[in-house]
Amino acid sequence: MGRRDVERFLMGGKDPGLNAYHPEKKIQYKDRMPEEHSAEYRLALSDLIKAAKVSEKKMAHSYRNFNVGCALFAYDEENNEYEVYNAGNWKYEPGTQEGNDQRCAERNTLDGATKDQCSVVVGMVIVCEQTQKDSTSGVNSTVLTPCSKCRKMLRESPLIKPDTIITMINPKPDRSVEDGGAGEEGYEEWIEEMTVAELLARHGEEYPTTKV
Ligand SMILES: [Zn+2]
């Protein structure tokens, strides 16, 4: 989608080509997060996108230039406030860092929220200028979606809810990606958004009905 489309989207407009988040969609899970959280996420979204982009540029380290930035928006019930955690991924050449070759940006941000004892992750923005076919599910996408290890983390973390929002942005989509539809002139940036439950479903996985 073009920059103008992104702005329109951020202002709450609807784009027919966008796999948008539908707050009215009822998800049959007991642990849905309160609706005011997603409204706060909307208000914070442009700042979160900026934070994720800065992380992708300044905090990510990847030996093969596969840089990912993430900004996570969490609610801290005890202090009744929202917190932002942003981080990049790191990926060293295999074998150069014993036992610690790689760490995803999503995990780095969630670690921060977990350490601070936040109660719920309202949403996260993931920015990457590249994309790849998911090695586990085989799903192709014009935006980078969380990898299988991160999806496992999303299923298991008590901070993640089925309606936690995942906003995925590719600021420089590869126009040759099949099924991407990004070939049109003027398409500068791709943004795709869905809930965790929808993300898992896309990869043929399920959000657990019970969490310990
Ligand atoms: Zn990952």
Ligand 1 centroid to Cα of residue 153, in Å, is 9
Ligand 1 centroid to Cα of residue 145, in Å, is 8
Ligand 1 centroid to Cα of residue 24, in Å, is 29
Task: With a cut of 50, say whether residue 10 has pLDDT above it.
Answer: no
Residue 20: pLDDT band with limits 50, 70, 90 = very low
As beta bridge partners, residue 74 has 83, 121
Ligand 1 centroid to Cα of residue 62, in Å, is 13
pLDDT at 176: 55
Ligand 1 centroid to Cα of residue 143, in Å, is 13
Domain parsing of the chain, residue ranges: 32-94+101-211
Ligand 1 centroid to Cα of residue 140, in Å, is 15
pTM of the model: 0.80
Task: With a cut of 60, say whether residue 210 has pLDDT above it.
Answer: yes
pLDDT at 172: 82
Ligand 1 centroid to Cα of residue 185, in Å, is 31
Core vs surface per residue 123-138: b (16+ CB within 10 A) or e: bbbbbbbbbeebeebe
Ligand 1 centroid to Cα of residue 183, in Å, is 27
Rounded to whole angstroms, the Cα distance separating 86 from 52 reads 6
CATH H-level, domain 32-94+101-211: superfamily: Cytidine Deaminase, domain 2 (3.40.140.10)
7 vs 111, more confident: 111
Task: With a cut of 50, say whether residue 5 has pLDDT above it.
Answer: no
Core vs surface per residue 176-207: b (16+ CB within 10 A) or e: ebeebebeeeebebbbbbbbbbbbbebbebeb
151-166 pLDDT, tens digit per residue, is: 999 999 999 999 999 9
pLDDT at 81: 96
Q: Provide the 3-class DSSP secondary structure of residue 111.
A: helix
Task: With a cut of 70, say whether residue 183 has pLDDT above it.
Answer: no
Residue 99: pLDDT band with limits 50, 70, 90 = low
Ligand 1 centroid to Cα of residue 175, in Å, is 24
Mean pLDDT across 157-181: 80
Ligand 1 centroid to Cα of residue 207, in Å, is 17
Ligand 1 centroid to Cα of residue 191, in Å, is 18
Average the pLDDT over each of 72-76, 137-141, 174-178 and give the range with the smallest value.
Answer: 174-178
